Structure 1
Amino acid sequence: MILLLALPAVMLAGCDKRSEPQGQEKTAASNSAASGDAKADITLESASGMTAVLSYAHHGSAAPSGSFTGADGRDVTLSDFAGRPLLVNIWATWCAPCKAEMPTIDALAEIEAGNMSVIAVSQDLEGRAPVRAFFEQSGIKNLEPYTDTDNMLLSHYQGISLPTTILYDSGGKEVWRVQGGLEWNDEEVAALLREAD
């Protein structure tokens, strides 16, 4: 029971900033991470002050096998995206940093079309209605409104805060994960994404 009461507090911990991200600070640590040399956690900071943590702690872990729901109501699993790299964003419409970064994830989905799959899976318990409304209001056009009302993904990635974004290679193995909001369509992120190639 205590764990169930603590879960919302843990999830909200990443959702306490309400400023819009405007690009990451370029640091020696993040540049060495982009080349694949660093394996320690690295803090990334946007120009607006939002911060995120890049972690390789789960490098090589297999993607979870549970299902979530597509826009048409069909069951979907991460293995449905096998064969090329996959970027999975775990988010919710009630999470301010999640909403702030979503337009850049949408832009990244367009930039990376053909190279990798980019998906955003909402943890909203109300299902697709709030996700579709947010996508329409924000002009999100390259992402499908995937939903995980059972919080299967959130349960698999125990202890994460929202937003969390995980990069998988084409074999379904984790490369890295980022907890916190970022500008996903900038050059620094492009270098990090190439680590899945």
Structure 2
Amino acid sequence: MLAACDTGAEEEAQETVAAADESEAIDLTGTLLRDFAGERIPAVTVIDPDGARLDLRDVDGPVLMNLWATWCRPCVVEMPLLDELAADLEGEVRVLTVSADLKGAEVVQPFFDRYELPNLPRWMDSGNDLANAFDGGPLLPLTVLYDAEGREVWRITGAYDWASASAREEVREALSVEAGDAPDTNPSVS
């Protein structure tokens, strides 16, 4: 899997969100993959801007976890869509967003203030332990759906239209299949 970030780059590379052309259209056609279905949620601890810690393996219930960064233009486009999804699916699935920004709260807090995302948590992994758990650094954004037992159901690489009805259907259908409520009629779709 290819990485979208060069962590060895000059420090300025982490600050490109302000320079991004916000009028530029982003293709929201991420790829749904089931290649890692059944794998456990990574044993990674993330923090929020106030210093609270969360061990991802301690999260109860289904989780839709998004790995993103403020300098990643597709991530920036996707965040308001995830915020809307989190509001719509509250009580069905927990949406966790985890920033891979090296500067942590210094850039994440202003990002959330600017975009007003009340339904998304501000978790951070400035050490990139989560990216490393995904084989050294995934293409960003990366969104992974985990069932109530912390097992991967599917993942979407690249930006995705989380505001669409089909996104909600995919999440709900996957969770109902995992719960045994419906048969999986097409398990090899990717």
Q: Which runs of 5+ in 1 are unaligned?
A: 1-6, 22-48
Q: How does 1:30-69 map to 2 (within 5 A)?
A: 49-69=27-47
Q: 1:188 to 1:93 in 2, by over 3 A?
A: same
In structure 2, the residue matched to 1:78 is: 56
In structure 1, the residue matched to 2:181 is: none
In structure 1, the residue matched to 2:89 is: 112
Q: 1:59 to 1:17 in 2, by over 3 A?
A: farther
Q: How far is 1:91 from its partner? A: 0.3
Q: How far is 1:113 from its partner? A: 1.1
Distance, in Å, in 1 between the alignment partners of 2:28 and 2:165 is 18
Q: How far is 1:182 from its partner? A: 1.2
Q: 1:136 to 1:17 in 2, by over 3 A?
A: closer
State how many pairs are aligned: 161
TM-score normalized by the length of structure 1 = 0.75
Q: 1:109 to 1:71 in 2, by over 3 A?
A: farther
Question: Of 100, 104, 124, which aligns to 1:123?
Answer: 100
The one-letter code matched in structure 1 to 2:175 is: A
In structure 1, the residue matched to 2:78 is: 101
Q: How far is 1:50 from its partner? A: 3.7
Moved over 2 A (4+): 16-21
CA contact (8 A) 1:71 1:144 kept: no
Q: How far is 1:17 from its partner? A: 10
Distance, in Å, in 2 between the alignment partners of 1:93 and 1:188 is 26
Q: How far is 1:185 from its partner? A: 2.2
Q: Which moved more, 1:135-144 or 1:101-110?
A: 135-144
Is 2:189 the partner of 1:196? no
Distance, in Å, in 2 between the alignment partners of 1:90 and 1:96 is 13
Percent of residue pairs bearing the same amino acid type: 34
TM-score normalized by the length of structure 2 = 0.78
Q: How far is 1:51 from its partner? A: 2.8
Q: Which runs of 5+ in 2 are unaligned?
A: 7-19, 177-190
Distance, in Å, in 2 between the alignment partners of 1:77 and 1:109 is 20
In structure 1, the residue matched to 2:10 is: none
Question: Of 104, 111, 114, which aligns to 1:134?
Answer: 111
CA contact (8 A) 1:62 1:174 kept: yes
Question: Of 153, 157, 162, which aligns to 2:140?
Answer: 162
> Cα RMSD (Å) of the superposition?
2.4
Distance, in Å, in 2 between the alignment partners of 1:173 and 1:20 is 34
Query: Secondary structure in 2 aligned to 1:181?
Result: strand
Q: How far is 1:78 from its partner? A: 1.5
In structure 2, the residue matched to 1:10 is: 3
Distance, in Å, in 2 between the alignment partners of 1:12 and 1:126 is 14
Q: How far is 1:111 from its partner? A: 0.8
The one-letter code matched in structure 1 to 2:4 is: M
CA contact (8 A) 1:54 1:178 kept: yes
